[in-house]
Amino acid sequence: MLIVRDVDVSYQGAVAALRGVSLSVPAGGIVALVGNNGAGKSSLLRAVSRNLRRHRGEITGGAVTFDGEPLRDPGDCVRRGLIQVPEGRRIFGRLTVEENLRLAAHGAGKKLVPDRVYDLFPVLAERRRQPGLLLSGGEQQMLALGRALVAGPRLLMLDEPSLGLAPQVVARIVTVLREINADGVALLLVEQNAALALSLAQHAYVLELGRVSLEGPAEKLRDDPDVRRLYLGATAVAT
Amino acid sequence: MYRRILLGLGVVLLLVLPYYVGQFWLRLGFSVAAAGIGAIGLTILTGTAGQLSLAHAFFLGVGAVTYCALAGTDADLVSLGWPPLVAALAGVLLAGLAGLAFSPVAARLRHIYLGIASIGLVVIGQHVLNTAAPLTGGFNGRLTPGIVSDAKVSIGGVPFGAYEKQWYVGFAFLALAALLARNLVRGRVGRAFVLLRDSEPAASSVGIAVQRYKALAFVVSSMYAGLAGVLYAVAIGSVAPSSFALDVSVLYLVMVVIGGLGSVAGAVAGAAAVTALPVLLQEYAGYLPFLAEPGSGGVTASHAARFVFGVAVIAVVLTRSGALHRFRPSALGSRS
Amino acid sequence: MITFLSLLLTGLSTGAIYALVALGIVLLFKAAEVVNFAHGSLLLLGAYVTARTWEAVGFPTAVALGVLVGALAAVIVERLLANPMRDAAPVALAIMTIGVDIVIATELNRRMGPDIVVVGHPWGGTAARLGDVAVPANRLIALLVAGALIVAFLVAFKLTDWGVAMRAAAEDRETAALLGVRLSRVTTLSWILAGALAVVAGIFLAGSPTPGLSPAVGVIALRALPAAILGGLDSTTGALVGGLVVGVAESLAAGYQDQLSFLGRGFGDVVPYVVMIAVLLVRPAGLFGTREVGRV
């Protein structure tokens, strides 16, 4: 479904952020992208969603296709069902909860049907008229997910969905992600929390200094000694 | 070395010019010197320190009116009859004081906000000048006392009148102003200005007193404007409040923008272009068939010049908007 | 008391006109971080088209033509100039609009010359009476029309997809783009609206008690800038409040100028700027402006 082939990305014509990165997400699958801060995860997402120009970067080699066609701009991605949940949630604080959802539906060229989101996250229904800046971190992540759902995703790209959230909230998010996937939506999970990512995904890639250093089935990566040492810590064992 | 020789040749050329060219060119040259000084002041403020200001006309007015009142001999108006150079110096100082008085506002506001607030200074200044009729002559204005005596002297067989002597005064002031500006921009203060232009938080984190330096940039620029105002008043022979309207500020902005913001030499070149173009178009209108007589409804020399200015500003900003990125405080990151 | 009421009413109507212009200025700042110094010229251009065509096509059509030309000119500026340099700093954009202003204002000055062009309002110079208070009918109609337009605008801003997209773009352009919002469409629409609102304001500004359209009307329209900035450049509420404050303050200062004679004749014209500087001294981002945007 999403195919990234030999992509190079550089910023301001100088700094190489990605070098020859290849990755693919099959329809309905869950793929994890693991790596430390600065490994190039954000650059990869920007390359896929055609959002590099804003950061004075560009794709200098390789190609990205979705359903076999190149992606033109962020709007094109959204309208073709490739939806990104950005790092740090990026909720519009001065817009109400419902306006945030409405904006996302409008951006995808759809009419807003919030019922599914409100069923998944009843707290959002209660707070539908409140401005986004009054939400807690967990509620903001729910709203960010909700925004992606009302856009009618076929592939969701999640950038650090667990960052800074309490364990119960993370558990709730994971449950919802499984439900969404069960409906046939593919997931590309970009996480520093490798344990979480590898437990959800079927296939995983490890990004180091702008290159894919390792890839394979998620359970295999979970047992890889290097991955265990570097990303899963000495004691952390995947659930 | 090459640059030095070129500069030396230029200076010699300017020094001997009065021996060869007539009044028209000397007067134009003097006007260019006046505008050049003002433009240098604005390019320090807007280009080097990154503060957009449209208040320049106001400070020109302060300098000009101070000079007229102190050096003037007009019995109907406040006239102290001081020596012209002393009065000119006082004009510069008073313009600086006016800048200092506005600096609490200037130092607190940034970029666009300062740009708009500074329009207010010009409008209020117009009102004050109109109201202070004993000082300014009110609506009708007052005559400018000459900066040199009218007495003719003969040097090398060439008679030197007021315009010739005035030329040297203007030229000397411009050279002095440019030299001081260059040293300022290249020195410690200039580096502080650049830092706070690029990012105020970053500047303050390395120990630069942001508000003090912003105020300083404003005061320096107003002193340059004050001197420009004195010479401008001398150049046009009489000044009225309307000589210092918003339009004048806009023209100064045009000068420094087409001269390349922050460049002292560019500011002088921009001042020369903006000052000379309408005058030259008018002078040679007979040879330019597309120009119409004033009042005929057609495109006059002054219209043509303004079209050129407007288009030039747009063209410069469009082609050099990359260079103007520096206005964006880097602390806010790239545009998001 | 009657003087006061009539001054207040005049001030409110002037303020409503300023608010229309200021609303456009704020809109452009929110949509594209542009402070449009050419706004007065756009206003003048549209009003000039109306003034030149009403005799031939009748007033209503002439107004439509003027508004159309103003909106069109705004779109041309946006597509041709502002959009290509959308990543430049706000100050660079502002300087660009100063260049545009020079060009448009010069051409209009040339065409108008020293003449005053009459805009043929059907209501002419008649006075309307509300009890004992008399004001020019033009001002009363301006108050009503501006009020209606402002309400319509605010409702659209609150309730339509465009309004939501506009507010989102003002808050976080990148995220809005990632959600699929077509920023360039939002921006273009904002320029259209801003241009159209300015022309409506211009048509009223050129009516009674003003004798007609002249470059001076552009100078008056410039007072919407202090109105916008004292309210806060990124606040629509600020534009309304700023417009009204400036209009009323100006009207009162002009009306009581005999009592205020120590401030000099014509002090009313200066009041908007005095109020602006006073407000900025206390609140550098304006009354309703947010701090972050005040730091741009």
The residues spanned by each domain of chain B are 17-245
Residue B222: alpha-carbon gap to chain centroid: 9
The residue of C41, C110, C225, C275 whose CB has the most chain B CBs within 10 angstroms, and thus the best one to mutate to test that interface, is: C110
* Residue among C201, C193, C177, C174 nearest C19 (CA): C201
Beta strand A211-217 with A203-208 is antiparallel
Q: Which amino acid, one-letter code, is at A3?
A: I
For residue B329, pLDDT over 80 is answered with no
In the numeric block, which tokens belong to residue C137?
């009918």
Residue A158 CB neighbour total at 10 angstroms: 27
Question: Which of A90, A143, A158 would best serve as a mutation to test chain C binding (most C beta carbons within 10 A)?
Answer: A90
A94 touching chain B per CB within 8 A: no
Reported as a pLDDT band with limits 50, 70 and 90, residue B326 is very low
pLDDT of A203 reads 93
In this prediction the ipTM stands at 0.89
Query: Which chain B residues are within 8 Å of C98, Cβ to Cβ?
Result: 250, 253, 313
In-domain check, residue C252: no
Contacts of B40 by beta carbon, 8 Å cutoff, 6+ apart: B177, B178, B181, B224, B264, B267, B268
Element spanning B122, H or E: helix B111-131
Backbone torsions φ then ψ of A35, nearest 5 degrees: 175, 160
Distance from CA of A234 to the nearest CA of C (A): 37
Q: Is B202 exposed, middle or buried (0-12, 13-18, 19+ CB in 10 A)?
A: middle
- Asked if the model's pLDDT at residue C296 lies above 60, the reply is no
C238 lies in some domain: no
Which residue type, as a one-letter code, is found at position A168? Q
Predicted confidence band of residue B328 (pLDDT cuts 50, 70, 90): very low
Residue B119, pLDDT score = 92
pLDDT digits (tens, 9 = 90+) for C46-100: 999 999 999 999 999 999 999 999 999 999 999 999 988 887 888 889 999 999 9
- Count how many residues are written for chain B: 336
Is the pLDDT confidence value at B138 over 50?
yes
Q: CA nearest A87: which of A183, A19, A152, A160? A: A160
Report the chain A residue with the minimal C-alpha distance to residue B333. Answer: A55
Contact criterion met (CB < 8 Å) for A56 and B335: no
Which amino acid does the sequence have at B141? G
Q: Which residue of C has its CA nearest to A49?
A: C178
Q: For A71, which DSSP code?
A: -
Task: Look at residue C273 and tell me if it is in a domain.
Answer: no
Chains touching C by CB (3 or more pairs below 8 Å): A, B
B20-35 pLDDT, tens digit per residue, is 778 888 889 999 999 9
Rounded-to-integer distance, Cα B298 and Cα A182, Å: 74
* Nearest partner of B251 among B278, B214, B215, B218, judged by Cα: B278
Is C138 within the bounds of a domain?
A: yes
User: Amino acid identity of B89?
Assistant: L
Is A13 touching B (CB cutoff 8 A)?
no
The half-sphere exposure of C222 on its side-chain side, counting CA atoms within 13 A, is: 24
Query: What's the Cα-to-Cα distance from B103 to each of A118, B43, B46, B213, B228, rounded to whole Å?
Result: 54, 17, 15, 10, 20
C152 within some domain: yes
Coil, strand or helix: which one is B165? Answer: helix
In a domain, C178, yes or no: yes
CA distances (Å), B26 to each of B14, B29, B266, in order? Answer: 10, 5, 21
Please report which confidence band the pLDDT of residue B335 belongs to, taking 50, 70 and 90 as the band edges: very low
Residues sharing a CB contact under 8 Å with residue A232, sequence separation 6 or more, in sequence order? A194, A195, A198, A222, A238
Q: Please give the Cα distance from C195 to C189 (Å, whole number).
A: 10
Question: Which structural domain, as residue segments, surrounds residue C54?
Answer: 13-223
Per-residue pLDDT of chain A (239 residues; tens, 9 = 90+): 999 999 999 887 677 888 999 999 999 999 999 888 888 888 999 999 998 888 888 888 889 999 989 998 899 999 999 999 988 889 999 999 999 999 999 999 888 888 989 999 999 999 999 999 999 988 999 999 999 999 999 999 999 888 888 888 899 899 999 999 999 999 999 988 888 888 899 999 999 888 998 888 988 888 888 787 777 764 544 44
Chain B residue with the nearest C-alpha to that of A51: B336
CA distance B81 to C20: 51
Residues of B in contact with A54 (CB under 8 A): 334-336
Number of DSSP helices (H) and strands (E) in chain C, helices first:
13, 2
Is B322 at the interface with chain A, CB within 8 A? no
Give the pLDDT confidence score for residue A162 in this predicted structure: 86
- Total domain count for chain C? 1
Is A54 in CB contact (< 8 Å) with chain B? Answer: yes
Answer whether residue C242 is part of any domain.
no
CA B216 to chain centre: 18
Measure CB to CB from residue C180 to each of A92, A95, A108 and give the nearest one.
A108
Residue B156, C-beta contacts closer than 8 angstroms, at least 6 positions apart: B19
Q: For residue A58, what are the contacts with CB-CB under 8 A and spacing of at least 6?
A: A9, A10, A13, A52
